[in-house]
Amino acid sequence: MNEINNINNVKKLVDTFYEKVRKDTLLAPIFEKRIKDQWPEHLEKMYRFWQTILLDEHTYQGSPFTPHVTMLLKEEHFSRWITLFKETINENFTGEKALEAKARASNMARMFEYKIDYLQKIKAAEAKQS
């Protein structure tokens, strides 16, 4: 098993994880609907995101939450996402960065889930008032 200490490890993490996502019956339809034929661009963006987070090499610019706002994601989607992510880490990596990756992914999933749920409730409340 490898430590996550360079861009090649980050690419292996991202590629292996998204291979699982693309085969997953719950997540695959959501990702395919959003990403369509732009997988190379999405993977490149994810390489830069995790490179910035885990290697402290600032190559990612943007807001990771913004693309998810309009998606109809629920708790089960986030649970499955984090399960696959942790599974990928456990099968391929060890060390402090592997632990950090799992913790950061869990925190991010919880935050995204909370924010999306909150925004959906606001939208539903506004719809009732009109």
Segments making up each domain of the chain, as ranges: 7-129
Residue pointed to by tokens 């990403």: 35
CA 7 to chain centre: 17
CA pair distance 67, 54, nearest whole angstrom: 21
Q: For 7-129, which CATH class?
A: mainly alpha
Predicted local distance difference test score (pLDDT) of residue 59: 87
Determine the Cα angle at 15 with ends 78 and 43, to 5°.
80
- pLDDT tens across the length of the chain (130 residues): 899 999 999 999 999 999 999 999 999 999 998 898 899 999 999 999 999 999 999 888 887 777 776 777 888 999 999 999 999 999 999 999 999 999 999 999 999 889 888 887 887 788 888 7
Burial class (CB in 10 A: 0-12, 13-18, 19+), 45: middle
User: What is the per-residue pLDDT for 48?
Assistant: 95
Distance (Å, whole) CA 20 – CA 15: 9
